[in-house]
């Protein structure tokens, strides 16, 4: 989908050894969703997920490997987070639960747009806070543990910002308010050993934010402006938050499909959510999506945590952070699950509190001699076994329908690239859509970072001066016209006599 191409452009740019790219010739015909062309050519998305995609491509030759790397690290960070409040056994089972979760592994680990990096970041933040809560009582025995906790906290905050700046920032700030009384009550701020232990984590945080400021300056020319903000100013109409007002884009929309995306689809979502009734409807849809994606078991275990767990103050604090975060994030009109991915670590931790209490009640009912290890492994392996069975069922269902994959627009796009790549010389494909084309979900015009070296260059066609301009800008390329037929099919025709 269109978001995936935005993250892939980040990865492609980093693999070129750059943070952004020079504006290409005839850039007006190359405009597409989630991409800025002025003053430089770059994706609007943060660099975090794209960096992992680039690592996957560099190490294995496949962007998809980056998805599996970040999912593995996120699962490990969940285990580290849980180990801050529970035994290593519970932590290991929690990490395995995350690594085998049906939706996350059959969804996020197969999609170039996902919430894994936000899960990784917030898990490190929570794990850091939990260790400060446990070990930040005195310098004796707490110095090194507090140092590692704050390093994890700072690293996690950077990862969260590099993935979901607004949503991750909201959760980090609320977690900070939750643990601030602890720091003040123990008078850690006034103790020199605490600042010495905190120094490496503070350096990590400052370095991460400095890199983001550098990215801002390189891409937008303004160190205070995110690429996302620049893109929305240039092309967006609907605001990101429902309390903001719509605005006119500074660069406008040269093509009908751009207007359909920004003035149609985006504004429809904003108009539906920008009222009290719309906010309530969006919240209901978002909660239903979370229930379907996370699973009823995770939510029920979190509920048990609120009713049964001890210490209640810590549990209710995390619950309050999760609820407030959800209410604030719900001010974004779009309801895809990765928007609330920073809340997932909190849900996992609350589930651990609930399951721990369930374990104790189960021990009292089943046996007089408490075997806490056996109960932990039993509950954990049952949950993981259920995950594996459901994941296998989903994967089998996908494989059984694999014969229809080549019929999707994305596969046909890949096939056309493969066909044109077999012919000598570079190609330029001019895309002309029908009025009923599903432009939101089937956009063809996306390109790699190195425009000059790409084999197949995609551009929009206006059958007029812009076509003439793009042809003159790339005279060494063979020109093709891609037109769409009723029913969603397309025809590709070589243009041998110009326009």
Is residue 38 situated within a structural domain?
A: no
Same domain, 418 and 329: no
Same domain, 116 and 154: yes
| pLDDT category of residue 250 using cuts at 50, 70 and 90 | very high
Same domain, 340 and 473: no
Same domain, 373 and 433: no
Residue 488: enclosing H or E segment and its boundaries?
none
Same domain, 390 and 429: no
Is residue 401 situated within a structural domain?
A: no
Same domain, 236 and 97: yes
Average pLDDT, the chain: 85
The number of CA neighbours under 13 Å toward the Cβ of 231 is 22
Which residue in 382, 448, 440 sits closest to 421, CA to CA? 448
Same domain, 93 and 216: yes
Same domain, 390 and 432: no
Query: What is the rounded distance in angstroms from the CA atom of residue 20 to the CA atom of residue 13?
Result: 6
Same domain, 344 and 384: yes
| pLDDT category of residue 406 using cuts at 50, 70 and 90 | very low
| pLDDT category of residue 232 using cuts at 50, 70 and 90 | very high
- Whether 93 and 376 have beta carbons less than 8 Å apart is answered as yes
Quick: pLDDT tens for 466-487: 888 988 888 888 998 988 877 6
The residues facing 494 across adjacent strands are: 480
Q: Is pLDDT of 435 > 80?
A: no
Domain that holds residue 441: 407-494
Query: What is the rounded distance in angstroms from the CA atom of residue 430 to the CA atom of residue 495?
Result: 10
What is the pLDDT averaged over residues 124-138?
A: 81
Structure tokens at 341: 């991915």
Quick: pLDDT tens for 326-382: 999 999 998 888 888 899 899 888 888 877 777 766 666 555 455 667 767 777 787
Total structural domains within the chain:
2
Is residue 402 situated within a structural domain?
A: no
Is residue 499 situated within a structural domain?
A: no
Same domain, 354 and 421: no
Quick: pLDDT tens for 447-459: 999 998 899 999 9
| Phi, psi angles (nearest 5°) of residue 484 | -105, 140
Is residue 253 situated within a structural domain?
A: yes
| pLDDT category of residue 387 using cuts at 50, 70 and 90 | confident
Same domain, 366 and 475: no
Domain finish residue from 370, 396, 422 = 396
> Which one-letter DSSP state was computed for residue 435?
T
What is the pLDDT averaged over residues 213-228?
A: 93
The angle formed by the CA atoms of residues 410, 412 and 413, to the nearest 5 degrees, is: 65
Domain finish residue from 367, 396, 425 = 396
């Amino acid at each position: 989908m269109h978001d995936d191409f935005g993250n892939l452009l980040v990865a492609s740019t980093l693999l070129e050894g750059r943070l952004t790219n020079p504006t290409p010739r005839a850039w007006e015909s190359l405009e597409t969703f989630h991409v800025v062309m002025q003053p430089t050519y770059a994706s609007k998305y943060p660099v975090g997920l794209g960096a992992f995609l680039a690592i996957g491509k560099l190490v294995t030759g496949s962007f998809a490997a980056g998805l599996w790397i970040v999912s593995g690290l996120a699962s490990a960070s969940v285990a580290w987070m849980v180990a801050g409040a529970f035994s290593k056994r519970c932590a290991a089972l929690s990490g395995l639960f995350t690594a085998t979760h049906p939706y996350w592994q059959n969804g996020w680990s197969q999609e170039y747009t996902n919430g894994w990096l936000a899960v990784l970041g917030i898990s490190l933040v929570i794990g850091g806070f939990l260790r400060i809560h446990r070990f930040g009582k005195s310098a004796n025995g707490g110095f090194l543990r507090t140092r590692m906790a704050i390093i994890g906290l700072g690293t996690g905050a950077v990862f969260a910002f590099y993935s979901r700046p607004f949503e991750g920032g909201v959760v980090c700030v609320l977690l900070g308010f939750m643990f601030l009384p602890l720091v003040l009550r123990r008078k850690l701020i006034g103790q020199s050993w605490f600042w010495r232990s905190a120094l490496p984590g503070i350096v990590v945080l400052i370095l991460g934010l400095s890199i983001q400021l550098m990215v801002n300056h390189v891409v937008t020319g303004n160190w205070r402006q995110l690429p996302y903000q620049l893109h929305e100013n240039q092309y967006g109409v609907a605001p990101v938050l429902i309390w903001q007002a719509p605005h006119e884009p500074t660069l406008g929309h040269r093509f009908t499909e751009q207007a359909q995306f920004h003035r149609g689809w985006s504004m429809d979502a904003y108009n539906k959510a920008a009222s009290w009734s719309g906010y309530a409807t969006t919240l209901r849809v978002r909660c239903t999506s979370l229930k379907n994606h996370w699973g009823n078991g995770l939510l029920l275990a979190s509920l048990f945590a609120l009713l049964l767990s001890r210490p209640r103050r810590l549990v209710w604090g995390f619950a309050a952070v999760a609820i407030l975060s959800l209410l604030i994030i719900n001010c974004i009109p779009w309801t895809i699950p990765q928007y609330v991915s920073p809340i997932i670590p909190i849900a996992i931790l609350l589930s651990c509190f609930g399951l721990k209490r369930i374990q104790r009640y189960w021990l009292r009912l089943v046996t007089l001699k408490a075997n806490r290890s056996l109960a932990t492994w039993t509950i954990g392996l049952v949950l993981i076994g259920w995950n594996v069975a459901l994941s296998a069922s989903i994967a089998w269902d996908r494989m059984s329908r694999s014969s229809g994959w080549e019929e999707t627009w994305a596969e046909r796009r890949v096939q056309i690239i493969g066909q044109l790549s077999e012919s000598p010389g570079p190609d330029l494909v001019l895309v002309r859509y029908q009025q009923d084309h599903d432009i939101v979900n089937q956009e063809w015009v996306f390109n790699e970072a190195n425009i000059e070296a790409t084999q197949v260059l995609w551009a929009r066609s206006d059958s007029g001066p812009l076509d003439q301009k793009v042809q003159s800008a790339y005279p060494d390329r063979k020109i093709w016209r891609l037109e769409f037929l009723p029913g969603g099919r397309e025809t590709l025709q070589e243009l041998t006599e110009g326009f």
